[in-house]
Chains A and B, each alone.
Chain A
Amino acid sequence: MTGAATKTWLTDWQRRAFATPLDTALTIGVGLILAWLAWIALDWALLRAVFRAEDVALCKEANAGACWSVIDARHRLILFGLYPYDEHWRSTLAAAAIIGTVVLSCIPWFWTATRITATWVSGFAAYYLLMEGSILGLPQVTTDKWGGLSLVLFLFSSVVLLGMPMGLGLALMRRSRLPLLRLVATLIIDFIRSLPLLTTLFTAAVVLPILLPDWLQGDKIWRVIIAFALFFACYQAEVFRGGFQAIPDGQYEAGRALGLGKWQILIAIILPQVFRHALPATINMVVVTFKETAVVIIIGFFDLLASASAAFGTGDWVAYYMETYLFVAFIYWAFITSLGRYGEYLKDRMRQEEH
């Protein structure tokens, strides 16, 4: 920041906060309260806190603050769920592969159909091969042992990855000129949207195995991912529909006048604009989906929240549930903030492209 900018900022601040004696009093008063709260939080979370698992006895002392010993002792449970202890490096690498895939696909260079497909396919293959293990000659770990943060990342990215094209497909079907396609899309979207997510997932996890023949059941995790993706797709389809509606008919007519085919118009003219219009709502959907993965705890998945509650769910650690929840909240915050920042960056970038 340059000197001049600092100065403007300062005067601006002065004008807003210290204009009248009352404003000054309010500013100082609120500032003091905030500082006091910050001090209490800092004092509790850091200054008087106990950090090492071996020092847990200190947590019981009267003036002890936060007891981060629970994180020291149980972080592997929180991050990896029931994944076998000696194989945690695999779960770490697998989670890194998913994060890497997401980060790479945020980079504009990867935004071509082949590159993005290759990235996602290899990222997911890496995750699955590492986690499951038997194909790579590692000890097999079945999906009921997958858990913690790496399961949340996998669920989230699979749902978005499958749900996004499905959502686009449904949106296109809903705008189709063929009445049958339109009807089918409308029925699917309205039906799924009228069900709570939990019901949809419960059906996929628990009811389907009773109805379906054995060979069609597959693993519970895939049934749940497909159901979740369908749920995501139905909402995302409506987001895309909003994007489509923002585009004036004149553009289609102009495209036809230039002699472009239906698909050419769609891909070259319409879709880029649809994505741009739908972006803020899409980021919203993605963030909500990340958090909603926590619902799978109800159908018996050992996700981040389940493993956190298991982490303090034993006699030795039950008193420190607050610290455990704060740790999990921090993880969620870190991921969701990154998603949000990325959304902002995309919006800026697209605005530049418009000019």
Chain B
Amino acid sequence: MSILRSALSAAVAVTGLSVSGGAALAESPTLKAVQERGTLLCSGHNGSYFGFVEVNDKNEWKGLDIDLCRALTVAILGDKDKNQIVPLSWAQRFPALQSGDVDVVIKATGWTMGRDTELGLQFSNPYFFGGAQLMVRKDLGAQTATDLDGGTICVAAGTTIERIVADHLKSENVEHTMVSFEKTAEVIGAYKSGRCDAYAAWGPSIAVLLANQFEDAGDHVILEDKLSAEPISAAMRQGDDEWVDVVNWMLAALLKAEEEGVTQANVAEMAANPPNPTVARLLGVNPGMGERLGLRETWAREMIAAMGNFAEIYDRNLGEGSPYKLERGLNNLWSNGGVLYTPILD
């Protein structure tokens, strides 16, 4: 096998043909449209979604998803402001993608089978994992979900959380009573007033709540159990593989930069004096990053200079630099105990 491959590469080298050349040079219609338009069309929100899509005091978008859109904009067009962020509701995001109102949906969107198949979407590698978690009062002394035996759990009605929590507790043989409420505010009210022992919701949302709506935040604890891990990915139209490549490598470059310690502050220095071949390739010192995607060789360097690496983007919007102080947890690099990883940069 390996003999065959080396023979093949030798033949390729000799004839100057590239086996993958056909695919790499095939142009992505979306990428081409974006470059011709000079504007990337991203998804915004009709309001705000904590940490992911928000609006600041200067009427400008901000958030993790917005920063990823800006990073993509720099990668393609070299300027983080050459985008138009179209406000979309949750229900509207996929039709808007199909009709071409946006080029990509980066909007806290879970990767599900139905969306991947029936809706005709294609997903990037996940850039965030969020799942159902439980919050309890500290004085309850619960360590894991199994300690909630015989307890009452408050949850918002009709969400996937309700089902996930019920399934999990059933599999652990934990007797419990589930109380559901129509509105999030009602669920929180019920939990605060002691109507229930635990509050179940999306992990990041609980952290946001705890940081802002609980005067006695120190008296509550989010249980370690992750009842689910929903992968959050960018969604694109089916059938434009090269466009998916661009988005995947945008995410990969941000993570690779974090892995290699390339930051917004030191990117110029790193580019001038690359410590290893991976960084040299990443920052466009050695060729390979750009041409294969149909972008400029230095796109990743410009992107990191404008937006920072993945850790910096995370900290600014969800982590220490934000009001939420959300731990990286699962969303750390694999080498730091998380589940995020990068493909090999060869």
Contact = CB atoms under 8 A, between A and B. Distances in A.
Given A306-B46, A319-B212, A300 B55 contact: no
A298 B50 CA distance: 18
B46 A313 contact: no
A25 to B, nearest CB: 35
Contacts of B85: 144
Contacts of B60: 82, 85
Nearest to A198: B91
A54 interface: no
Given A144-B84, A315-B211, A319-B212, A300 B59 contact: no
Contact of B47 (A73, A142, A205, A310): A310
Contacts of A302: 46, 87
Interface residues of A, number: 38
A300 B87 contact: yes
A299 B92 contact: yes
Contact of A316 (B59, B89, B100, B323): B323
B58 A300 contact: no
Nearest to B185: A321
**A73, A84, A209, A314: which has the most chain B beta carbons within 10 Å?**
A314
Contact of A315 (B47, B50, B59): B50
Nearest to A144: B86
B96 A315 contact: no
Interface string B30-71: 000000000000001111111100111111110000000000
B49 A301 contact: no
Contact of B92 (A144, A300, A306, A311): A300
A209 B213 CA distance: 42
B51 A313 contact: no
A301 B92 CA distance: 11
A76 B59 contact: yes
A318 B324 CA distance: 11
**B56, B59, B324: which has the most chain A beta carbons within 10 Å?**
B59
A206 B95 contact: yes
A297 B211 contact: no
Given A302-B46, A319-B212, A313 B54 contact: yes
Contacts of A306: 46-47, 87
Interface in A267-319: 297-302, 306-307, 309-311, 313-316, 318-319
A318 B48 CA distance: 11
B208 A206 contact: no
B101 interface: yes
B18 interface: no
Contacts of B215: 60
Interface string B70-91: 0000000000000011111101
A206 B96 contact: yes
Nearest to A76: B59
A314 B323 contact: yes
A84 B59 CA distance: 6
A62 B44 CA distance: 36
B109 interface: no
Nearest to B63: A314
Contact of B50 (A83, A202, A318): A318
Nearest to B39: A142
A81 interface: yes
A207 interface: yes
A207 B98 CA distance: 10
B92 A206 contact: yes
Contact of B89 (A210, A299, A307): A299
Given A301-B87, A319-B213, A309 B59 contact: no
Nearest to A81: B59
Contact of A80 (B51, B59, B92): B59
A306 B95 CA distance: 20
Contact of B84 (A74, A81, A142, A147): A142
Contacts of A230: none
A300 B324 contact: no
B49 A313 contact: yes
Contacts of A84: 59
B48 A309 contact: yes
B46 A209 contact: no
Nearest to B86: A144
A300 B88 contact: yes
Given A300-B46, A310-B48, A82 B61 contact: yes
Nearest to B58: A85
B177 interface: no
A314 B54 contact: yes
A82 B83 CA distance: 14
Contacts of A313: 47-50, 54-55
A77 interface: yes
Contacts of B46: 297-298, 300-302, 306
Interface string A61-105: 000000000000110110011111100000000000000000000
A54 to B, nearest CB: 13
Interface in B277-327: 322-324
Contacts of A299: 89, 92
A209 B99 contact: yes
Interface string A198-213: 0000100111011000
A316 B212 CA distance: 8
B322 to A, nearest CB: 6
A188 to B, nearest CB: 25
A77 B57 contact: yes
B89 to A, nearest CB: 5
Interface of B: 44-51, 54-61, 84-89, 91-92, 95-96, 98-101, 208, 211-213, 215, 322-324
Interface pairs A-B: 9 shortest CB-CB? A315-B323, A313-B48, A309-B47, A209-B99, A206-B95, A300-B88, A310-B55, A310-B48, A85-B58
12 contacts: A82-B87, A206-B95, A207-B95, A297-B89, A298-B91, A306-B46, A310-B54, A313-B48, A314-B56, A314-B323, A315-B212, A318-B213
Interface of A: 60, 73-74, 76-77, 80-85, 142, 144, 147, 202, 205-207, 209-210, 220, 297-302, 306-307, 309-311, 313-316, 318-319
Given A202-B92, A313-B48, 19 more contacts: A77-B57, A80-B59, A82-B44, A82-B87, A142-B84, A205-B92, A206-B92, A207-B95, A210-B95, A298-B89, A299-B92, A306-B46, A310-B54, A310-B55, A313-B47, A314-B323, A318-B212, A318-B213, A319-B212
